[in-house]
A and B are shown apart, each in its own frame.
Chain A
């Protein structure tokens, strides 16, 4: 079916089967490959995007569920207010292989939008759905705290 999505502030058209998960529409139809496939069952978080500003597993969301709602992917994170978070990620040199990091960043962006100064426990709760096999959790935690610091530091 032909449908129009709002991706990173732009109207994007796609012609895909209605049951296609948003993940595969992004990756295959719209060439937005920054959003990653990791498990296909919503268990790893690699496919996380923001739907209406909230972290959402795009592998579990049929594309029809995204129609009419703003979607932000990693490619649009800077423009959506994520520069500070991305800078913190770079400062802490978080990534190893980097494959899960788009999902981690989107989950962190969603957390900070609701909880600007999260505690460790709040970070755990928000980020436990995102697996990193390289084991970058300590640096992710530091980067989130860093991004939450007052801008003067």
Chain B
């Protein structure tokens, strides 16, 4: 059965004459569809396109991707949606990155929140279907037959009764003259030949030959390179600069102080860079040498900030009443009084950095009347706005050239590095590339917030959970990022990073979630999977603790709690299906042969969640050897991501998320001492390497319905699965990340 997809009145529909005869289909992220002829000489129209497809008269089909490619595979998965519904020949399509930022044309262009495929699902398929419908109409008209007697495949319209066929290329001019249909028919998923089929990434060839251009590879004529010495202590200002030695180095062109505190406001959710001193040079190496030769005197900044003190503060606050109760079901106090058994445990997670492989960088070319930005950014609109504020130019005069990003993970959502480049280009009146070092990256990140969670659970005499309490103490990223607050609210309420609808909320009769906010100057931001990366660790470990207290199998305990529940409300955000969560637990457990014996020293742990819009569960098999070294041998994961558009790409996202989650589980910790970030490179901020990477087996649940997400939901369950496996292997319950050998020394 086919699905009719009506085009609403809000859809812009227009066809204009054009000499080239190309057909262009425009789709807005809001679901609006427009058709017009491509006109290279015309000014952009008010409804100019979102993701769109153009077909040249020679048959070349070009699909534009408006969102940045950061390794999540959108340059393959999004065009697949268009190509499927238009029956384009996938092997011959061309993919182009949208140039610039245009909300009216493209809708949202950011990469974040695991939503690119989910939000592109309807509009991009409709774009393809609309193109197909018009091409069929053009062919049918030419043949004098009923359009419904025509079929399409491989960029060709066929008329089976007569055996005639016409390629899309020769139909573009005729198609563009036709009225735009008021609705389009989307395919029955059973007919898909692209969606759901493993499809290799479109940029693979360029990557293996070293010709794919990342932000850091941008070279424009006359470009200088800048390296910036940034405030070593959070918030420190430049008091004086002795740049004589730096300027004496041949090839050093200028030394410029970036007074970030004085730069025009970056706005809501757009943090400034630290104050700094930039050396502008002819090459990266000379810029780096010049920077090392600087002698900068800094003000004290937030020299009192210290991670150890924050941890002590959390422990002190843990004994005090919380600042805010976020959710309160039933009567937790009474339930604890009447409980057969109770348990209290404190979980702690550190600050962590993103550390994408490509360090931050940006090329800015600021002119009197315009500004060009080349940036590996997850947030092109944010980059444009920052450049506009710094240059004083209207946003429309700023063009952001979206390059491929060497990883993102949330770091490139912020435009601090774009601000530096714009400020420096403006100062030197010429193009400049700012290149961060790895040390800059580790020490001037916007870190995942550290957090402390006081967990309390109460069981009845049959071991069932009758009460659950989570008390979160943390500094909140929204405060650092100066999120816009509702009128009359002066500070971000505590508990913003709690998951008030996370499992087991709704399954336990008495449940209280509460929080107290710390106030810290440490830069904070979103980190792949955001608060789910901490909350899921805490609740999937604590439920393991309760299962153990109850003498129950950890899997059975979770499944019993889920029971027959189905729709679980997520207030204001729809709902999730508890049975889908059950099914990923069951599938992961079955494929991992949960319950079968393992050698001594090894254990299995399970964890799972509905998190970041999808359902993922996994079983970790972990060995703790006689030296107390931790070896994660195998992870068996099950995922329900809804319809999987590209199984190869989606699997890559889950596999990669597990490695990413493992690095946080076993390696990552950022600490601040006397206002300085202690770590500086991959030596003291290590990540999982090849020799430490487990075998990953991934199973997708067959799922109809729209796509859910892919980039993030594999992260959260990883750390708790490993921690629970370590408990199973050793009997030692680790409640603090990262898990280190020393944590397993005493039992």
Query: How far is it, in angstroms, between the C-alpha of A127 and the C-alpha of B691 when the chains are bound?
Result: 8
Contact A98 B689 (CB under 8 A): no
Contacts of A94 in B (CB 8 A): 204
Contact A133 B284 (CB under 8 A): no
Contacts of B409 in A (CB 8 A): 133
Q: Which of A38, A102, A105, A123 has the most CB of B within 10 A?
A: A38
Number of interface residues of B (CB under 8 A): 65
Q: Which of B164-172, B214-222, B266-274, B578-586 contacts A (4 or more CB under 8 A)?
A: B214-222
Instruction: Confirm or deny: A54 has a beta carbon within 8 angstroms of a beta carbon on chain B.
Output: no
Task: Across the interface, name the chain B residue whose C-beta is closest to A102.
Answer: B210
Query: How far is it, in angstroms, between the C-alpha of A98 and the C-alpha of B659 when the chains are bound?
Result: 16
Contact B406 A97 (CB under 8 A): yes
Q: Which of B205, B283, B355 has the most CB of A within 10 A?
A: B283
Contact B681 A43 (CB under 8 A): yes
Contact A138 B695 (CB under 8 A): yes
Q: What's the nearest-Cβ distance from chain A to residue B358, in Å?
A: 5
**CB neighbors of B among A89-148 (8 A):** 89-90, 93-102, 105, 123-125, 127-141
Instruction: Confirm or deny: A151 has a beta carbon within 8 angstroms of a beta carbon on chain B.
Output: no
* Given A97-B356, A133-B356, A136-B652: A24 touches B201 (CB 8 Å cut-off): no
Contacts of B71 in A (CB 8 A): 95-99, 134
Contact A75 B356 (CB under 8 A): no
Task: Across the interface, name the chain B residue whose C-beta is closest to A39.
Answer: B438
Contact A38 B438 (CB under 8 A): yes
Contact B357 A100 (CB under 8 A): yes
Instruction: Confirm or deny: A86 has a beta carbon within 8 angstroms of a beta carbon on chain B.
Output: yes
Task: Across the interface, name the chain A residue whose C-beta is closest to B693.
Answer: A137
Contact B404 A97 (CB under 8 A): yes
**CB neighbors of A among B333-373 (8 A):** 355-359
Contacts of A133 in B (CB 8 A): 355-357, 407, 409, 660, 687
Contact A43 B358 (CB under 8 A): no
Contact A95 B690 (CB under 8 A): no
Query: How far is it, in angstroms, between the C-alpha of A46 and the C-alpha of B217 when the chains are bound?
Result: 14
Query: How far is it, in angstroms, between the C-alpha of A69 and the C-alpha of B246 when the chains are bound?
Result: 33
* Given A41-B683, A46-B357, A97-B407: A140 touches B209 (CB 8 Å cut-off): no
* Given A31-B219, A41-B438: A101 touches B683 (CB 8 Å cut-off): no
* Given A34-B211, A95-B204, A137-B693: A39 touches B284 (CB 8 Å cut-off): no
Query: How far is it, in angstroms, between the C-alpha of A75 and the C-alpha of B213 when the chains are bound?
Result: 13
Instruction: Confirm or deny: A57 has a beta carbon within 8 angstroms of a beta carbon on chain B.
Output: no
Contact A136 B208 (CB under 8 A): no
* Given A40-B438, A43-B682, A90-B200: A77 touches B209 (CB 8 Å cut-off): yes
Contact B205 A93 (CB under 8 A): no
Instruction: Confirm or deny: B657 has a beta carbon within 8 angstroms of a beta carbon on chain A.
Output: yes
The 8 Å CB contact of A27, one of B284, B355, B357, B407, is: B284
Instruction: Confirm or deny: A28 has a beta carbon within 8 angstroms of a beta carbon on chain B.
Output: yes
Contact A35 B210 (CB under 8 A): yes
Number of interface residues of A (CB under 8 A): 60
Contact A39 B682 (CB under 8 A): yes
Query: How far is it, in angstroms, between the C-alpha of A73 and the C-alpha of B285 when the chains are bound?
Result: 19
Contact B358 A97 (CB under 8 A): yes
Contacts of B216 in A (CB 8 A): 33, 36-37
Instruction: Confirm or deny: A29 has a beta carbon within 8 angstroms of a beta carbon on chain B.
Output: yes
Q: Which of B203, B210, B655, B681 has the most CB of A within 10 A?
A: B210
Query: How far is it, in angstroms, between the C-alpha of A98 and the C-alpha of B211 when the chains are bound?
Result: 11
Query: How far is it, in angstroms, between the C-alpha of A25 and the C-alpha of B511 when the chains are bound?
Result: 61
* Given A28-B283, A37-B359: A93 touches B648 (CB 8 Å cut-off): yes
* Given A27-B284, A134-B407, A136-B656: A86 touches B201 (CB 8 Å cut-off): no
Contact B688 A75 (CB under 8 A): no
Query: How far is it, in angstroms, between the C-alpha of A28 and the C-alpha of B540 when the chains are bound?
Result: 49
Instruction: Confirm or deny: B207 has a beta carbon within 8 angstroms of a beta carbon on chain A.
Output: yes
Task: Across the interface, name the chain B residue whose C-beta is closest to A86.
Answer: B208
Contact A40 B437 (CB under 8 A): yes
Contact with B along A73-86 (1 / 0, CB 8 A): 11101100000001
Instruction: Confirm or deny: B696 has a beta carbon within 8 angstroms of a beta carbon on chain A.
Output: yes
Contacts of A89 in B (CB 8 A): 204, 208
Query: How far is it, in angstroms, between the C-alpha of A132 and the C-alpha of B71 when the chains are bound?
Result: 11
Instruction: Confirm or deny: B66 has a beta carbon within 8 angstroms of a beta carbon on chain A.
Output: no
**CB neighbors of B among A1-55 (8 A):** 16-17, 19-21, 24, 27-29, 31-41, 43-44, 46
* Given A73-B210, A97-B405: A123 touches B681 (CB 8 Å cut-off): no
Contact A36 B406 (CB under 8 A): yes
Contacts of B405 in A (CB 8 A): 97
Task: Across the interface, name the chain A residue whose C-beta is closest to B698.
Answer: A138
* Given A40-B438, A97-B406: A74 touches B210 (CB 8 Å cut-off): yes
The 8 Å CB contact of A96, one of B73, B208, B435, is: B73
Instruction: Confirm or deny: B225 has a beta carbon within 8 angstroms of a beta carbon on chain A.
Output: yes
* Given A36-B357, A39-B438: A138 touches B210 (CB 8 Å cut-off): no
Additional 7 contacts, C-beta under 8 A, given A33-B210, A133-B407: A27-B284, A33-B219, A36-B214, A95-B208, A99-B356, A101-B208, A133-B357
Report B's interface with A, CB cutoff 8 A.
69-73, 200-201, 203-205, 207-214, 216-217, 219, 225, 250-251, 283-286, 289, 355-359, 404-409, 435, 437-439, 648-649, 652-653, 655-660, 681-683, 687-691, 693, 695-696
A-B contact pairs, 12 of them (CB 8 A): A33-B210, A43-B683, A74-B209, A93-B204, A98-B214, A99-B356, A125-B691, A133-B356, A133-B660, A134-B357, A135-B693, A137-B693
